[in-house]
Structure formats: structure tokens, C-alpha cells
Amino acid sequence: MKHKTKITGLMAALLLSTASIAHAETLRLLTWGSYAPEELVQKFEERYPDIDVEVTFSNNEEMIAKLRATGGAGFDLAQPSHDRIHAAQMEYDIYKPLDLSKIDTSVMETSHLEGVKANTTIDGEVYAVPHQWGTSGLMANKSVAPDFKGWGDLCDPKYEGKTSMRLKRTILLGTAFSMGHDPFAAYSDLDKYQQILDEVAEKLIDCKSNIKAYWKGGDDLSAMMLSGEIVASETWDSTAYKLYGQNKDIVFVPPETGALAWIDTFALPRKGKADDAAYKWINFVLEPENVTIMSGSTGAIAAVKGGLELLPEDKRNAVTAAFTDADIANLKFFANIPAGVEDMEGKTLEKIKAATGG
Amino acid sequence: MQSDIKRLSLILLFAPFALWIALLIILPHMGMVVLSLREKVAPRVYEFGFGNYIDFINEPIYWNTLLRTGSMSILVTFLALLIGFPIAYYIAKIAGKRSRGALFLLCLIPLWVSDLIRAFGWILLLRETGVISSFLTDIGLIKQPIEFLYNDITVIIGLVYTVILFMIVPLVSTLDGMDNAMIEAGYNLGGNGFTVLRRIIVPYAMPGIVSGCIVVFMMTAGSYLTPILLGGKNSSWFTEQIYDQFITRFNWESGAAFGFLLLAFTSVVVWIGLRLTGQTLANTVAKS
């Protein structure tokens, strides 16, 4: 008898669970770590009880690689940066055009919206709208490195063995700017770009002995910076803001040649199955109170009107401590990456890594 | 009837193995071969050719990294054997019946934690402000904190630690099967400790040594996390190049070619190793 009730109970549970599967729609997000805070996901699922949210954390390169592997299947909403859409779409056909009428674009900061649209329009169709923006630049511990101000200072012998950088394209571009070049303008002339890259490589190979280690993720960078093992580094602004919360001496430093700005976007994978849920999520996270929760988690500024005011207070303080209006005006937005550039940059990075320089 | 049942059971027993080999090993590798022979000429346009392999030969960075990975892996294998052999010998021959299980378990325990966590463990210990460096400063042995992390020696330590178990297990199982009388006979015939080791124990343990070395070498050459996390500015590892080709450069074609080159390279190294020691796969790995 007891046995029987157990089985019926099990059956009932099974039926219930299959029933809920049959009803619920799943929204599969492919996004950055911290871009789907638990609090928001729960709030979203409460508002739309028939949608389940599944989150996969990733980064630009892996997002494209994942979508490429399946031809754009497996996810319903992706969030690559604005410069990673055009070429990826041309080459691998992994996104589908957005239906802008389903998105409340009126709340978005016009300059960002127009910028992203211009960057991601192919054959008259728009493939992405902006979500959050932020910058890559430098951070320094002001108590020991008070006049740290440009990309080139990472290679200043004054800070020997006390600086770090990530060996990715950001540092190539930053160093190019600090040497007086405009790498984005050179995208149209790849021979010229190769020359710039060669110069940059030479400089960064010389610089190797000055660097303690190349950081690989926010965690090892934070550990090195907080422990005082390094005094300055190339960084994402959000990492610097987080550290500012723990040590007020550590500030984000927009390089004098301009911080490099990125905008993370919303884009629909080509074989996504829950477009409506995806649009609901987009509009949901654009609501002012949700923007604050999101920015609190990401440390980035939402690309909505008044995005800065919607930051949680501690993050807003960190931003205002770091940026003047002139710095904001001096931002260098990442330009669309034309085909072939990733390969050239990859080769340059390999060359730097393989060189023996201390 | 009887033979039908026999055949059926043979097929059923063989099926999982055949499926595993075909679906998870042969098929993906064939896909990789095809991929590695495609040359990208324009967006969404590909041509058949050996361009990706030619690129590898023409770029010293690539084959230098491969050689570096290979030689460091050989060093790791050698160190693992050097450290693993006495441990295995102790567990199999010297330790008592009851402590043997416990010792074996102790060797296994680190494996219950993922590679990543173990690498972070090393990072905590070895970093400039880490446990070892601060301990040495505290007891006054060194004045300035020392950075132990981010160099090739750390990578080798980390790798030996990760793979040594795969050396110990086959060694223990071969040594376990060895009759103690053989060692005694060796001594009785006037051999000293070294002769007994060289003429009796090592030859007997050869199947275990060879299979342990092969497994360890393959695992080291193909490892990714440990060299990346513990390595420094100059520590390139070939798997990192493969990752970069696939993920950062979106160049799956040459990533696939690199994957094959790594497979070919490690196979050749194993073959040379077998040749030099005069062993064959049949009388070593198959036996252990």
C-alpha cells in the first residue's frame, strides 16, 4: 500500500513536471558573466510565469564560436559587442534581423542607438541595439603611482615588474593610439594597419620585461592589484570600479589618448526559438529600476537616457571619480572589425607572447 | 542455436566499444581532417588545399611552441616517473596490506577536485603575497617577498602534480604482480640494491612504466588549464595556440590543422620512445 502511494506520487510529480515543460517557454540567454543577475531573472520569471530563463555566460569570441558551431541555434538572445556583429554576420550568418517595432527604442540614448544601428545594418536590416556600454583603459593605485596617465606608462621603467596587461587586442589598439596612430582609421587600409601592428609589437616586446604577468581574467587582475603586487594595469572599467569599492586609492584612469569604448548589444541568433520572450527580456531590462539592478551587477553604464544617473550610488561615485566630461568626449568607440583583422592581430599577439623579453 | 547466442552476445558486448570508437573518435576526427584541409579564400568561400599546414611550417612561432610543449612534456613525464616510481614501489611492495589501500586512496584524493581548483591552489601558495613567500619572509629567511608564480618551473611543478597519479596507478598494478621471491633471489645471487633494481625490478615493471609514460606524456602535451594559469609572460603552450586559432581568430581551419599536428607529433614522440627503449605496444601497454 505504502509502495503504491509512493508510485502514484511519483507519477503525479512526473505529470506535473511534464505539464509545466509543455507550457513554459524557455529563453536561452548567451551573455556576459554578471549580465543576468539572479535578482532580475527571478523578477522576470515572476512577471512572465510561463517563461523560464536559462543563462550561459560567455565572452565575445566564445559567443561567436558557439553560434558559429550551430549556425545560430541553441540560444534565443545573445549580447556581443557592437563591433563583433557585422563581420561575424557577413562571414558565418549567425544572427537574424531585429524587429525594431517590438523594442522600446525611445528610452535608449540616441547617440548609442544610432551608433550601433550604423555599425550593424546589413542590407537595410538592423541586427543589434545597444544595452550597456563601458570602456577599457587603465587603472592605477594612486598612492604609489599618482601620475599614471597613458597606455605608454605601463612600459615606464619606473614601474618595473609592477604593471600588467591582458594580451588581447585592446592593448594593441591602446598602444597604437599612444604612439600617435589611429588604428581604427587604418582598418580601411590593411597594409597600413599591419605597419602599425608591427610597430606596436616591437614596443610591447620591449615592454615585456616591465610587465609582471599578463592577466587572463578579472579575478587574477583583482588579486594582483589588491595585494599590491602590481600598481597599475590595463583593465576593464568595471573591474576598476569594483576595486575602488574596496580600496579608494585604486581608480580607473582614462588614458590621455582616450579610453576605448565598447557597447554590448542585444542580437537575435539566427535559429533562436523564443523571439517574443527575447523581446520581452530586452524591454524588461530597459526599465529604469531594472537598469539600476543590472548596472549594479555589471558595473557598466546602461545605454539608456540618463544611464549614468541610474547607476547604483557606489558605481556612480567610481565613474565620476574616474571621468571628466572631457574624458567622455574623448572616448574612442571600437570600430567594426573588418574581415582579416582578427587574424593579423592574432598573429601579432602570438609574436609578442613568443618573444623572449625577460 | 548455441552459436547464435554466442554471436549475439559477442555483438552486444562489442557494440558499445565500436560505437564509442566510431561516433566519438573516428567521426569527429574525420570532420577535423576535412576542416583542416579547407582554405579560407573569402567570407563564406573555401577551397581545398594544404594551406593551413604550410602556414604552420612557414611560421617559426608555431613549431617552436610545439617543440617547446613537446620537450617540456617529456621533462614532466621523466620527473613524474622519477617521483612516481618510489611511491609506487613503496605502495606495492613495502607498505603493509592494510595501509596499502589507504595510501592508494591518499594518492587519489587530489583527483576528486577539478584541475581548475588545483591550479588555483598552487596560485594561492606560490604568488608573491602567497602562503610560501609570506612564510619565508615571516621566519626571516628572505627579506623581500619572492614571486614563485608565472614561470616555466611553476608550470612543470603544476603539471607533474596533476599527472603523477596516472604514472603511479599502472606502476602499482604491475609491481603488485611481481613475486617477492624474484627480488630475494636477486639478492641471494649476490646482487646489490642497484643491480636488483636495474636487472629485475625495472624490466619487470616495464609494461607499467611504458603505459604510464605514454598516458602522462599525452595528458601533459594536451593540457590547457595548468600551463595557462601558472605560466608567465613567455610560457606559450601549443594547446593555447589551438584555442586562439579557434576562438580568438575564428580560424577553425588552422585550429583543426594544429590539432592534427599535435596528435601526429605526440604519436611520433611515443613511437620514438618505444623504439629507443626497444619496447612494443603489444608487450607493454596491452600487458599492464
Interface test with A, best of B131, B149, B249, B254 (most A CBs within 10 A): B249
Contact indicator for A234, A164 with CB cutoff of 8 Å: yes
B244 and chain A in contact, CB less than 8 A = yes
Identify whether the C-beta of residue B196 lies closer than 8 Å to the C-beta of residue B186: yes
- Give A-chain residues touching B245 at CB under 8 angstroms: 346
Residue B253's Cβ-count burial label (10 Å; 0-12, 13-18, 19+) is: buried
- Is position B20 within any domain? no
Residues forming CATH 3.40.190.10 domain(s) in chain A: 24-131+264-301, 134-261+332-354
Q: What is the DSSP letter of A335?
A: P
Residues above pLDDT 70, as percent of chain A:
93
Q: Which residues of B touch A216 (CB under 8 A)?
A: 228-229
Domain presence at residue B211: yes
A24-131+264-301 classified as CATH 3.40.50.800: no
pLDDT beneath 50, residues of chain B? none
What is the per-residue pLDDT across A30-59, written as a single tens digit (0 to 9) for each?
999 889 999 999 999 999 999 999 999 988
pLDDT tens, residue by residue, B10-23: 888 889 999 999 99
> Average pLDDT for residues A55-64, to the nearest whole number?
90
Determine contact, residues A50/A25, Cβ cutoff 8 Å: yes
pLDDT of residue A224: 93
B236 with A354: Cβ contact below 8 A? yes
pTM of the model: 0.83
- Backbone dihedral angles phi then psi of residue B213, each to the nearest 5 degrees: -65, -40
- Angle of helix A169-178 relative to helix A341-354, nearest 10 degrees? 90
pLDDT at B261: 93
Domain count, chain B: 1
Question: Does B263 map to a domain?
Answer: yes
Q: Name A139's bridge partners.
A: A233, A252
Please answer yes or no on whether B147 and A212 come within 8 Å at the CB atom: yes
Domain for residue B116, yes or no?
A: yes
Mean pLDDT of A153-178: 94
Return the amino acid letter for A300. A
Residues present in chain A in total: 358
Please tell me the CATH superfamily of domain A134-261+332-354, with its number. Periplasmic binding protein-like II (3.40.190.10)
**Res. A1 pLDDT band, cuts 50 70 90:** very low
Q: Which structural domain range is residue B202 located in?
A: 60-276
Please check whether residue B250 touches A, CB under 8 A. Answer: yes
Mean confidence (pLDDT) of chain A: 89
Alpha carbons within 13 angstroms on the beta-carbon side of residue B135 total 8
Instruction: Record the cell numbers describing residue A99, joined without a space.
Output: 524587429
Q: What is the pLDDT, as a whole number, of residue A140?
A: 95
DSSP state letter for A105: G
CB A192 within 8 A of CB A186: yes
CATH number at residue B76: 1.10.3720.10
- Cell 597604437 belongs to A176
Spatial CA neighbour of A64 closest among A286, A337, A348, A302:
A337
Q: A172-216, pLDDT tens digit by residue?
A: 999 999 999 999 999 999 999 999 999 999 999 999 999 999 998
Mutation target for B interface from A58, A59, A60, A61: give the one with most B CBs within 10 A: A61
The residues with which A121 forms a beta bridge, in sequence order, are: A126
Say what the pLDDT of residue A357 is.
54
The DSSP element (H or E) to which A136 belongs, if any, is strand A129-141
Within 13 A of B51's CA, how many CA atoms are on the CB side?
Answer: 13
